[in-house]
A and B are shown apart, each in its own frame.
Chain A
Amino acid sequence: MLTYLRKRIISSALPLVVVVVGVFALARLTGNPASLYLPLNATEAMREDFVVRNGLDQPLWIQMGRYFGGILRLDFGTSMRTGQDAADMALRAFPATLQLAGMTMAIAIVLAVFVGSAAALKPNGILDRFASFLSMTAASIPDFWLAIVGIWVFAITLGWVPTSGVAGAAAWVLPVATLVMRPFGALVQVIRGAMVSSLSEPYIKLARSKGATQYRVVGSHALRNAAAPGLTVAGDLTVGLVNGAVVVETIFGWPGIGKLMIDSILQRDFAVLQACVLLTAVAIFILNILIDLGYALLDPRVRPSAGARGRRRARSARRGNPTEIKDPAATGASV
């Protein structure tokens, strides 16, 4: 498993390096960084001062070296807006986004598993049609509209929850409810489909032939097999949320990475934006590894340890190693 993990980390580190180089190139290719970093009304003297101070007059390879050195020290420069360390600002905003994403996905997955499984029990039954309508609607509603209507109805008219901020549990209700819709809708569709096909597999009949209850057949035999496609889609959706739910975070004043990115773009705070992009890239990189581990956990056939052992055994068999376990048919043993 550790070998596999190491391989997986190395192979997915490459895209990460590409992102890092891309960010570097972005800061240079979109014109003079001085005009990107400095306010529009900066004087010529300020610009020259900036160029010298940031080593922009040095050859490109030295700049690149410094840039990478800075990344390794988590030094992305300071924010033009607040004068704070850019990496610090991004790291402080990130937990809020992660919490929002985690809460959203947890609720969406639990609900979708129940609704999707129930719908799959009788394809084209009443429940299935209702679930299909519900999930389609949930997946199609634009989040900005839902957020605004939610604020208007529940925060302003009814006054049940605050309009924005993170103070108290009530503040979570509207952002989470808004964000849950799309993952819920998409996951219901995926889980329903996977459950329909898994419920028609022969191993379901085998489980029934042992006298298993409906709960056991559906909840353990079918669901476990339907979980892998669910994980794929849930992983993609989580990546989207970790990226920062830009619109929803902005509307609800949620102090997450999405809001920070938008604010940085609007105020040309390039150092902070750069830190945000790299931090998000790292988070997605880690998330992808976790998803891969999840696959291995769910399905023994993709479990690398078993595969490696199988390969070793096959190799030793080719060399005539008698420890290989075979059907007695092959070795001539009698029953």
Chain B
Amino acid sequence: MMTHLLEPDVVMNDSGQTVLEVRDLDVDIRTPKGTVRVVRGVGFTARRGQTLALLGESGCGKSMTAKAIAGLLDPVASVAGGHAFLDGKDLNTMSARERREVAGPGLGIVFQDALTALNPVYTIGTQLGEAFRIHRGASRKQAKAEAIDLMRRVGIPEPETRVNSYPHQFSGGMRQRILIAMAVALSPRLLIADEPTTALDVTVQAQIMQLLRKLRSEEDMAVVLITHDLSVVAEEADDVCVMYAGNVVEQGSVRTVFAEPTHPYTKGLLESVPGDSVRGQGLSSIPGSPPELNKIPAGCVYQDRCPLVAQICRDERPQLRPTGPRQRAACHFAERVGQETVSQTGVVSVEEENQ
């Protein structure tokens, strides 16, 4: 399906060495009503020293993709197909033991909710040092020294005394710093950041992103950043992968995708960013809402909300194809997207919002 990803003419960004290559990844969730495919044929590459953003709204499968790569899917979810190569080794065929060995030195993950992700009954020092105890056989004393080092690196004041504090004694921003410190403890090759700033207020968000950037260049890691925030993508990412209803609908370098989107969904998202809108004029939005994952239509996943929809969109699901030098989109009419306005402008009434 997506083997042409490897062909040289569509390589999106030829600088930097490939750390993670995801190919045709499928993830299923078992529900009482049957199995639902929540991630369908997703593929992308993350390179050393660069950030790849997985962009999409809630429920589009971006978080599931990340969890599948990290091997942290909930028991009801499972990888149904595809590959995720970390430094050439397929994570999906690894034994549980091999996965444990990769977790930490190979792959670190920053979780979304810093308030609940830390274990409330252990000190920060214990939790930060744990990775060194597990992977390097460090003594308690060594692990604590490493923990203090990490705390200093992520900018926590007074690390020598705070190392003995418990999670509830830290602010939200500090806890997120601690989570980041945990993820980078063993200098992983790949860092997955799953909406790392969603739970934080805006000023802290900027600092956390700055910290991630600093660590990325220090460690020369590949970063996969999961977000629904277009401005975060624009500022932080080199490449972007736009997801909709479990599918990648457009991918490429952030510069080209944001300048000239070739999928109506991407274009709609970009048009709904308030910015140069005129006072008194309503905000732009994409009409409708994403399909339920157990009722994905045949053909294009975006057909119900797309202004360019035609018969072919209902009959045939468009495949990702090159639409620019560093850009691919899954749309039959990718070439027309540039010329049309795809969103709806107007005052959104209360009734509409409640629907």
Q: Is the CB of B203 within 8 A of A329?
A: yes
Q: Is the CB of A306 within 8 A of B166?
A: yes
Distance A330 CA – B174 CA, assembled complex (angstroms): 11
Tell me the smallest distance from the CB of A122 to a CB of chain B, in Å.
8
Q: Is the CB of B109 within 8 A of A325?
A: no
Report A-chain residues with C-beta under 8 Å of the C-beta of B103: 208-211
B120 CB within 8 Å of chain A = yes
Report B-chain residues with C-beta under 8 Å of the C-beta of A298: 121
Q: Is the CB of A209 within 8 A of B120?
A: no
Distance A221 CA – B122 CA, assembled complex (angstroms): 9
Distance A209 CA – B131 CA, assembled complex (angstroms): 9
Report B-chain residues with C-beta under 8 Å of the C-beta of A4: none
CB-nearest residue of chain B relative to A216?
A: B134
Distance A113 CA – B11 CA, assembled complex (angstroms): 54
B346 CB within 8 Å of chain A = no
CB-nearest residue of chain B relative to A326?
A: B171
Q: Is the CB of A328 within 8 A of B155?
A: yes
Tell me how many residues of B have a C-beta within 8 Å of chain A: 49
A7 CB within 8 Å of chain B = no
Segment at the A interface, from B18-26, B47-55, B111-119, B268-276: B111-119
Q: From known contacts A202-B111, A300-B120, A306-B169, infer whether A209 and B70 are also in contact, taking CB-CB under 8 Å.
A: yes
- Pick the contact of A205: B72, B105, B203, B211 (CB < 8 A): B72
- Pick the contact of B134: A210, A299, A301, A327 (CB < 8 A): A210
Report B-chain residues with C-beta under 8 Å of the C-beta of A225: 119-121
Distance A306 CA – B168 CA, assembled complex (angstroms): 10
Q: Is the CB of B121 within 8 A of A224?
A: yes
Docked complex: A312-335 residues within 8 A CB-CB of B: 325-330, 333, 335
Distance A208 CA – B214 CA, assembled complex (angstroms): 25
A130 CB within 8 Å of chain B = no
Distance A40 CA – B69 CA, assembled complex (angstroms): 83
Q: Is the CB of A206 within 8 A of B179?
A: yes
- Pick the contact of B210: A202, A213, A335 (CB < 8 A): A335
CB-nearest residue of chain A relative to B108?
A: A209
Report B-chain residues with C-beta under 8 Å of the C-beta of A203: 116-120
B135 CB within 8 Å of chain A = yes
Tell me how many residues of A have a C-beta within 8 Å of chain B: 30
Docked complex: A230-277 residues within 8 A CB-CB of B: none
Q: Is the CB of B135 within 8 A of A211?
A: yes
Q: Is the CB of B72 within 8 A of A208?
A: yes
A70 CB within 8 Å of chain B = no
CB-nearest residue of chain A relative to B192?
A: A209
B204 CB within 8 Å of chain A = yes
B146 CB within 8 Å of chain A = no
Tell me the smallest distance from the CB of A108 to a CB of chain B, in Å.
23
B207 CB within 8 Å of chain A = yes
A57 CB within 8 Å of chain B = no
Tell me the smallest distance from the CB of A325 to a CB of chain B, in Å.
6
Q: Is the CB of B119 within 8 A of A301?
A: no
Q: From known contacts A211-B102, A211-B131, A299-B120, infer whether A206 and B113 are also in contact, taking CB-CB under 8 Å.
A: no
* Interface pairs A-B: 5 shortest CB-CB: A211-B103, A203-B119, A327-B173, A335-B155, A300-B166
Which A residues are within 8 Å of any B CB, using their own CB?
Answer: 201-203, 205-213, 216, 221, 224-225, 298-301, 306, 310, 325-330, 333, 335
Q: List 12 A-B contacts (CB under 8 A).
A: A203-B117, A203-B120, A206-B127, A206-B182, A208-B71, A209-B108, A210-B182, A211-B102, A300-B121, A300-B166, A328-B173, A330-B171
